[in-house]
Amino acid sequence: MIASVRGARPAVRTRWAVVLLLLLHVLERSVWCADKVTGTLLVKDALTGLNQSVAVEAKLIRKGMLGDVGLGGEPLELLQKGEIVAKAMTGGDGRAVFQFTPNMRGMATLTVRVGESPRVDHAEAMANLAVWERRTPILAVEVAALMEEATVSSPLPLLPLGEKTERTPMPAAADELSKLTQFYYNVIYITIAESDRSDGFMTNEQIRAWLKTHKFPPGHILVLSGGPDALGTQLDEFHTGGWKTLKIGIGRSKAFAEAFLQRRLEVVIVPEPTKGELPRKAKVAKDWKEVRRKL
């Protein structure tokens, strides 16, 4: 049988491949229906103003033979301070969107959990909710600018969940950023995900854990996708949405700096880039202790 399939025409081989994929899918479904499965919840950070509705995105997945699989038709609950503030049902891709209106200003922790489900075991995840006054200055920070150059091979601190490899923060980065945010700035941590198949959910989770481990101040994590123009488009959307106090960025890459400069916004590059990588009108700090003097 195997020999005959190998020697078959391309159309026949394609049909056999489809049949095998269907058999794997049926096998996974039968195992899923037999016992409760273990799901993984991922949640993105959210940003809004006081007494304004906000959308919180979550995704419920499980490990499958062909990769991560979204768990559809599952009830999820959104909690703030232990109280359920919204409910939602996952779609076929495992996504769910909650809508609710916060009534307290500042940084809050949200929890999403699986509700009463006959198919999926209990699972939960947390995310940050930023409820900010629109008049407060906002500082945008490229995540790569927080990390030692020797450990940065791309703009992303991507790590598989459970991976123990550590990215080392730049000296004084956490302390200096804490001073900037303690009494004046709100902070948005920005990165561009080029290889995150979870639509930014996994990257958001990893950045949040890394920032907490290294004691960076809490802020809104924003994972962008869509190529080099994604940041510029997002900056335009922020200003259109009323977040006009986002006027300064601290970054590492030339693309990050140019997105700010093209909109006549200030940008500080840290550490000092190699010759030819410094955009015109960009400020430079050799390390994080110099950053505050450049703002």
The conformation of residue 47, written as its DSSP 8-state character, comes to E
Residue given tokens 């039968």 in the structure block: 30
Confidence tier at 197 by pLDDT (50, 70, 90): low
The mean pLDDT value for 53-77 works out to 90
The domain total for the chain is 3
Specify whether 46 is located in the same domain as 189. no
For the beta sheet containing 138-142, the strands, ordered from the edge strand earlier in sequence to the opposite edge, are 220-224, 186-192, 138-142, 246-251, 266-269, 283-284
Domain that holds residue 25: 2-34
Among 131, 162, 178, the domain boundary falls at: 131
Q: Is the pLDDT of residue 92 over 90?
A: yes
Q: Is the pLDDT of residue 199 over 90?
A: no
Confidence tier at 165 by pLDDT (50, 70, 90): very low
Confidence tier at 284 by pLDDT (50, 70, 90): very high
Amino acid at 76: L
Confidence tier at 107 by pLDDT (50, 70, 90): very high
Q: What is the pLDDT of residue 183?
A: 86
Q: What is the pLDDT of residue 272?
A: 87
Confidence tier at 226 by pLDDT (50, 70, 90): confident
The mean pLDDT value for 226-241 works out to 90
Cβ 286 vs Cβ 278: under 8 Å: no
Confidence tier at 187 by pLDDT (50, 70, 90): very high
Q: What is the pLDDT of residue 262?
A: 95
Specify whether 248 is located in the same domain as 272. yes
Specify whether 148 is located in the same domain as 289. yes
Specify whether 20 is located in the same domain as 97. no
Specify whether 56 is located in the same domain as 92. yes
Specify whether 48 is located in the same domain as 87. yes
The mean pLDDT value for 70-95 works out to 95
Specify whether 179 is located in the same domain as 247. yes
Q: What is the pLDDT of residue 190?
A: 96
Q: Is the pLDDT of residue 82 over 70?
A: yes
Specify whether 189 is located in the same domain as 259. yes
Specify whether 282 is located in the same domain as 187. yes
Q: Is the pLDDT of residue 161 over 50?
A: no
Specify whether 63 is located in the same domain as 118. yes
Higher pLDDT, 33 or 104: 104
Closest residue by Cα to residue 72 from 55, 43, 96: 96
Q: What is the pLDDT of residue 195?
A: 60
Confidence tier at 225 by pLDDT (50, 70, 90): confident
The mean pLDDT value for 188-213 works out to 86
Specify whether 190 is located in the same domain as 234. yes
Q: Provide DSSP, 208-255.
A: HHHHHHTTPPP-EEEEE-SSTTHHHHHHHHHHHTT-TTEEEEEESSHH
Specify whether 195 is located in the same domain as 60. no
The mean pLDDT value for 45-70 works out to 90
Confidence tier at 34 by pLDDT (50, 70, 90): low
Q: Mean pLDDT across the chain, nearest whole number?
A: 85
Does this model's pTM top 0.85? My answer is no
